[in-house]
Structure 1
Amino acid sequence: MKAMTYERFGNADVLELKEVPDAHPGSDSVLVQVKAASINPVDYKVRQGHLKGLIDTVFPVIPAWDVSGVVVKPGLDTPEFEVGDEILAYARKDFISNGTLAELVEVPVRTAVHKPKELSFEEAAALPLTGLTALQTVRRAGVSAGQRVLIHAAAGGVGSFATQLAVLAGARVVGTASERNHEYLRSLGAEPVTYGDDLVESARALAPEGFDVILDFAGHSAMQTVPDLLRDGGIVASITDHRARDVYGGQYVWVRPDRANLAELAGLAARGSLKIEIAEVFDLAEAAEAYRKLETGHVRGKIVVRV
């Protein structure tokens, strides 16, 4: 089978499209013909060696965890799926090696759900990691109706979903984004503010009493503004900065595969309650270029690779 691989840590130049041995299913996994996969910042952080000591890397590596496709061979004990079933999955395993940028991938049953017919393969592949991250962060922070919620990087892959989920929960959402994405945030139900030196002033103007919840999907300097923007007793949650937990007593979120959560997200998207924003679709042979675009940090929504 063809797969995008790399054999050493480095930038996107280490990625090569190669012929590799076919994947095969384990006893509690299914073999999936990949129709689409999506890429995420964690992929290139792994490739650059930044997750050493957190999760083991076994070379050669096929990157990415998000996938949609068709079951071509069930494992020995996988009654949930049959040949021909269309699925989507956050196919993260206990070590990094055999990912989803390939023609075939082994997908653990615990990570997969049936794909709703209303979603294209590209849309389905764009949902798992970022959607699960958003849902689990919103839930861990206890976002509820009537709250004032500030979301950093609200137009990004995770932020776009978190914004919609917080709005669906009945919260009033303010989202930080560049000016070119302000109208997009309004379409998701949020009030936009611009990154920059006047962020605190602009956000305070919208919530003079401070925010009940701050969700950080940006990192960098976002955590420095927490004392000025979080009300007394408020909650901060971050996927990038452990100070949310260690300094402010909030939540640090590392997304987990969760079939129930993923099925809930897929259902919301199928009903049109959750918009999936796709920035661009690349072919498998163009995956290195897809990562280069993602690494600019200026992508709205998700980048998808069609296999």
Structure 2
Amino acid sequence: MRAYGFSEAGGPEKETFLDVPVPDPGPGELLVRVRAAGVNPGDWRLREGTYGVAGPAVLGREVAGTVTAVGAGVTGFSVGDEVFGGCPGMVGGWAEQALVTASFAARRPDSVSPEEAAVLPVASGTAYDALDNLGLSAGQTLLVNGAGGGVGVPTVQLARARGINVVGVASPAKHDLVAGFGATPVAYGDGVLDRVRAAAPNGVDAVFDLVGGEALRTVAGLVEDRSKLLSIADKTLVAELGGRTVERDRSTAVLDSLARLVVSGELDPCVKQVRPLDEAGAALAEVEHGHVVGKVVLVP
């Protein structure tokens, strides 16, 4: 079958279309005919070698599609089911067919499109897990550092659905987007702490960082309880600062919850581009360069 990935770890020049065999689902896996696949920053990080995969390998960490085969030991799913979920090892979705981890898959409701469902496991799933990790109550205040990005946008929405107040640090071009989902946007750069304090005069109860580096170091001091400091962008620095990274759940229960929130209108997957698999390279380049507002989806 035709797939898109990379020949060896490196830059975009290593990306290529691949001719690969249709995989057989192993124990605990589903084989899915892909109807839509999400594009994430983790895809270009995988290609450049961050996760230790040398290649050749197929890119793609999340898909929605139709079950065509069921692996040993799988219960609750049958051939023909419309599902969405995460790919084993976080790779393999940018193809005509892909493996999906059954324990990190869910049935797709009819009112949720394949394109919307395909972008829920990675970004929205991370946001959901982060909020569970933080354990904030309604009325408390969360600072999202990088609120206009792929994980930031669902974090804002999911926090607001829980009654949590949100201050979102984002580039000015994304302030309308962030505000539209119920957060108070503030700009990056010099004076950011003053802007955050003006937006949240009673302080913030937790910080979820999606930027890393000095941007993380700057806002970390806003919370004395470092158990309320999370980052997925800079694991080394957040640990140095006394915080932690997100403990992922990756379960059917989380995906079911996210789908229900989409159905109820409390979560907009924010799909802004749907592109054919032929344009996978261009789609990934946009995500890698950080120019995308909302989510990008590939359709084989």
Normalising by structure 2, what TM-score? 0.94
Q: What is the alpha-carbon distance in structure 2 between the residues aligned to residue 240 and residue 197 of structure 1?
A: 20
Structure 2 residue 99 is matched with structure 1 residue 106: yes
Per-residue deviation at 1:224? 1.7
2:145 to 148, 152, 155: 152
How far residue 92 of structure 1 moved from its aligned partner, in angstroms, is 3.2
Residue 120 of structure 1: CA displacement? 0.8
User: Which residue is 1:8 aligned to?
Assistant: 8
Contact 2:124–2:151, Cα closer than 8 Å, also in 1: yes
Partner of 1:211: 204
SS of alignment partner, residue 215 of structure 1: strand
Structure 1 residue aligned with 2:21 = 21
Higher strand share: 1
2:62 matched residue in structure 1: 66
The answer to whether structure 1 residue 116 and structure 2 residue 109 are counterparts is yes
One-letter identity of the residue aligned with 1:30 = L
Whether 1:32 and 2:19 are equivalent positions in the alignment is no
List aligned pairs for 1:134-213, cutoff 5 A.
134-213=127-206
Which residue number in structure 1 is paired with residue 287 of structure 2? 294
In structure 2, the CA distance between the partners of 1:60 and 1:232, relative to structure 1 (3 Å rule), is closer
Between the aligned partners of 1:130 and 1:232, the Cα distance in structure 2 is: 25
* Aligned match for 2:271, one of 269, 272, 278: 278
Q: 1:100 corresponds to which letter in structure 2?
A: G
Q: Which one of the candidate residues 77, 82, 94 is aligned to 2:78?
A: 82
Kindly indicate whether the alpha-carbon contact (under 8 Å) linking 2:141 and 2:165 is maintained by their aligned counterparts in 1.
yes
Equivalents in 2 of 1:32, 1:232: separation in Å?
44
1:42 & 1:288 partners in 2: Cα distance? 14
Partners of 1:223 and 1:17 in 2: how far apart? 37
How far did residue 82 of structure 1 move?
1.3
Q: 1:42: how far off?
A: 1.2
Number of aligned residues: 300
The alpha-carbon distance between structure 1 residues 206 and 75, as it changes in their structure 2 partners (threshold 3 A), is: same
Tell whether the 8 Å contact from 1:28 to 1:109 is kept in structure 2 after alignment: yes
Local SS of the residue matching 2:256: helix
Task: Give me the whole-angstrom Cα distance separating, in 2, the residues matched to 1:83 and 1:48.
Answer: 35
Shift of 1:234: 7.3
The structure-2 alpha-carbon separation of the partners of 1:286 and 1:78, relative to structure 1 and needing over 3 Å to count, comes to same
Cα deviations across residues 199-219 of structure 1 (Å, max 9, x unaligned)?
Answer: 111111112342111110122
Cα distance in 1 for residues equivalent to 2:114 and 2:153: 19
**2:145/2:216 contact within 8 Å kept:** no
Q: CA deviation at 1:247?
A: 3.6
Q: 2: CA distance between counterparts of 1:148 and 1:174? A: 7
Specify every segment of 5 or more residues in structure 1 that has no aligned partner in the other structure, as ranges: none
**Corresponding position of 1:264:** 257
1:200–1:228 Cα contact (<8 Å) kept: no
**How many Å separate the matches in 2 of 1:168 and 1:144?**
11
Is contact 2:37-2:298 (8 Å) kept?
A: yes
Whether contact under 8 Å (1:138, 1:166) holds in the other structure is yes
Aligned to 1:130: 123
Preserved contact between residue 31 and residue 67 of structure 2 (Cα < 8 Å) = yes
Matched position secondary structure for 1:221: helix
Distance in 1 (CA, whole Å) between partners of 2:4 and 2:276 is 11
Judge which range, 121-130 or 22-31, deviates more. 22-31
| Structure 2, unaligned runs of 5 or more | none
Q: Aligned partners of 1:238 and 1:84: how far apart in 2?
A: 38
Sequence identity (%): 36
Partner residue in 2 for 1:92: 88
Give the match's secondary structure for 2:56.
strand
- Give the C-alpha shift of residue 241 in structure 1: 2.1
Q: Does the 8 Å CA contact 1:130/1:161 hold for their aligned counterparts?
A: yes
Q: Any idea what the Cα deviations from partners look like across 1:160-189, whole Å, max 9, x if unmatched?
A: 111111111211111011112111111111
